[in-house]
């Protein structure tokens, strides 16, 4: 009975591994890593030795499959992505968590995988985690990339009609609903390409709620000027979720930063993965010898 149960629990990971390999043109590996009472599903795209690997934090409710086209566009830069607890193939966190706790979890995960220094990229909700990680790990985080994200509750908010559609994971769990609202909430190319996000994995309501709780009341405004990492801020000029002005504010608050704006919406890392990958790659390698 126990053996049958273990087999059933393992099957989703095997299915997910196959799916990512079909989506990604680069060689990649899926691992299960046990950290602080949580089993994390991790994807690694191996890269050239001697170059700093890139740790990627995904958007709220999204599984790591969403980042596969962008990882392909990075070429030979090693990339690491993982499903946040309660999302994709990762187990639920045993307790509610805050962003500083998730940052600590990610650092323990890197230790378990044998990584020391990394560059860090965060997209949307994951951009808040990336900021927190950079603050808590000033020596471990070499460079920082913030994509389609904000500085927390002191941001310029989206319209209530847009925000309301983000309060539940229905946009991940209901493909018909997702296609219907894609243009309104994501903007940019999603206005005409309403199938940009495929249904990779459904997101649990409890896991989604935990991600929302982690961000509740959080803001980076008081300490963004303290960040010393060279930072690239990426934004879309037609982003209903994170209005462009937020990226402009962040790039002014972070001393060693620059801003790059795409003619797109919230999903430019997906809809324009090749161009986004080129911009990020150039930034990460600009001081390589």
- The pLDDT of 11-18, averaged and rounded, is 44
Element (H, E) at 21: helix 2-23
Counting the structural domains of the chain, the total is 1
Residue-wise pLDDT for 17-67, tens only, equals 555 556 788 999 999 999 999 999 999 999 999 999 999 999 999 999 999
Tracing tokens 């909430």 back to the chain, one arrives at 185
Assess whether 204 carries a catalytic annotation. no
pLDDT digits (tens, 9 = 90+) for 195-216: 777 655 678 889 999 999 999 9
Say how far residue 94 (Cα) sits from the centre of its chain: 22
On whether residue 206 sits in a domain, the answer given is yes
Kindly tell me if the per-residue pLDDT of 144 is higher than 70. Answer: yes
> What is the average pLDDT across 98-109?
98
Is 1 part of any domain? no
pLDDT (tens digit, 9 = 90+) per residue, 211-244? 999 999 999 999 999 999 999 999 999 999 999 9
Instruction: Please report whether residue 4 resides in a domain.
Output: no
Catalytic residue, chosen from 124, 220, 251, 271, is 124
Domain residues for the domain of 281 are 15-285
DSSP character string of 195-214? TSS-------HHHHHHHHHH
Mean pLDDT of the chain: 89
Residue 141 included in any domain:
yes
- Report the chain's C-alpha Rg in angstroms: 18
Q: Does residue 24 lie in a domain region? A: yes
Span 158-187, pLDDT tens digits = 898 898 887 788 888 888 888 888 888 999
In a domain, 168, yes or no: yes
Determine, yes or no, domain membership for 58.
Answer: yes
Residue 40 within any structural domain of the chain: yes
User: What CATH number corresponds to the domain at position 144?
Assistant: 3.40.50.1820
Place 10 in a pLDDT band, splitting at 50, 70 and 90. very low
Angle between helices 205-215 and 99-113 (to 10 degrees): 110
Residue 288 banded pLDDT, cuts 50, 70, 90: low
Residues 6 or more apart whose CB falls under 8 angstroms from that of 78 comprise 44, 45, 46, 47, 48, 51, 53, 54
């Amino acid at each position: 009975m126990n053996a049958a149960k273990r087999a059933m629990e393992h099957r989703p990971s095997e299915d997910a591994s196959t799916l990512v390999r079909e989506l990604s043109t680069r060689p990649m590996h899926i691992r299960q890593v046990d950290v602080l009472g949580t089993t994390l599903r991790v994807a690694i795209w191996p890269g050239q030795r001697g170059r700093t690997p890139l740790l990627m934090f995904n958007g709220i409710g999204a599984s790591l499959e969403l980042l596969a086209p962008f990882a392909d566009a990075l070429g030979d830069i090693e990339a690491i992505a993982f499903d946040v607890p309660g999302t994709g193939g990762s187990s639920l966190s045993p307790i509610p968590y805050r962003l500083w706790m998730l940052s600590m979890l990610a650092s323990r995960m890197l230790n378990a995988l044998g990584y020391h220094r990394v560059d860090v990229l965060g997209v949307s909700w994951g951009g808040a985690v990336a900021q927190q990680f950079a603050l808590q790990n000033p020596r471990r985080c070499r460079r920082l990339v913030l994509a389609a994200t904000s500085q927390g509750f002191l941001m310029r908010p989206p319209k209530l009609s847009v925000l309301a559609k983000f309060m539940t994971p229905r946009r991940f769990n209901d493909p018909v609903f997702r296609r219907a609202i894609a243009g309104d909430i994501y903007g940019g190319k999603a206005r005409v390409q309403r199938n940009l996000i495929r249904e990779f994995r459904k997101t649990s309501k409890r896991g989604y709620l935990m991600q929302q709780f982690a961000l509740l009341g959080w803001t980076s405004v008081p300490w963004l000027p303290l960040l010393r990492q060279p930072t690239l801020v990426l934004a879309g000029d037609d982003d209903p979720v994170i209005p462009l002005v937020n990226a402009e504010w962040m790039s002014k608050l972070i001393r060693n930063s620059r801003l790059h704006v795409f003619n797109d919406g919230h999903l430019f890392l997906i809809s324009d993965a090749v161009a986004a990958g080129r911009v990020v790659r150039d930034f990460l390698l600009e001081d390589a010898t």
